[in-house]
Amino acid sequence: MSDSSSSVPEATAGTDPHARVRHAAAEHGLEIEIRERPAARSLHEAAALLGLDPSGIVKTLVVKRSDDTFLFALIPGGRKISWPKLRALVGVNRLKLPDPEVALAATGYERGTIVPIGSSTAWPVYADESIRGERIAMGAGAHGYSLFVDADALIAAYDAVVADISEPE
């Protein structure tokens, strides 16, 4: 399935994850492509299936602050969050990954499908600096699909904080 962003009535956008993503992308002026993809057993297999370098697959991680608010961390494949760097950047001494149910409640998306585009709440976005200048693949709101977007356009559309927030896995 390949699709460009397009405006979708709000009622439909609330129930269909792809419609939510497309609607939010259109509202933010983002051009996206949603592509069906087969399941993969590893990052390298997924990258090969999508014709990308592993670093071109970007994980959207929901991070919980101690005050029960959240943020999104965009981390490229082959890397993980550097907790000391992210805590220093956010200006807090405690951050954690919430349970899957909490992440679902905070975003409206299940783990493995999470993307800031169309999240049920507009949490702040922190992007690892290494994604700049890349066309990236990320969650598309539903299992079995990837969303492709220009990272710089995503960063601009969501006023993301860009910094070195990752380290090798």
DSSP the chain: ---------HHHHHH-HHHHHHHHHHHTT--EEEEE----SSHHHHHHHHTS-GGGBEEEEEEEETTS-EEEEEEETTEEE-HHHHHHHHT-S-EEPPPHHHHHHHHSS-TTT--STT-SS---EEEEGGGTT-EEEEE-SSTTEEEEEEHHHHHHHTT-EEE--EEE-
**What would the CATH number be for the domain defined by 10-168?**
3.90.960.10
CB 83 within 8 A of CB 166: no
Does the pLDDT of residue 2 top 80, yes or no?
A: no
pLDDT, one tens digit per residue, over 52-98 is 999 999 999 999 999 999 999 999 999 999 999 999 999 999 999 99
pLDDT, one tens digit per residue, over 17-46 is 889 999 999 999 999 999 998 888 889 999
Q: pLDDT at position 40, please? A: 87
CB 79 within 8 A of CB 167: yes
Q: Distances in Å between the alpha carbon of 50 and those of 122, 137, 138, 146? A: 28, 8, 11, 9
Q: Identify the residue with better confidence: 5 or 47.
A: 47
pLDDT band with cut points at 50, 70 and 90 for residue 15: low
Q: pLDDT at position 39, please? A: 87
d(CA 101, CA 111): 9
pLDDT, one tens digit per residue, over 105-147 is 999 999 999 999 999 999 999 999 999 999 999 999 999 999 9
> At CA 102, angle to CA 72 and CA 153, rounded to 5?
20
Sign (positive/negative) of CA torsion 42, 46, 49, 52? negative
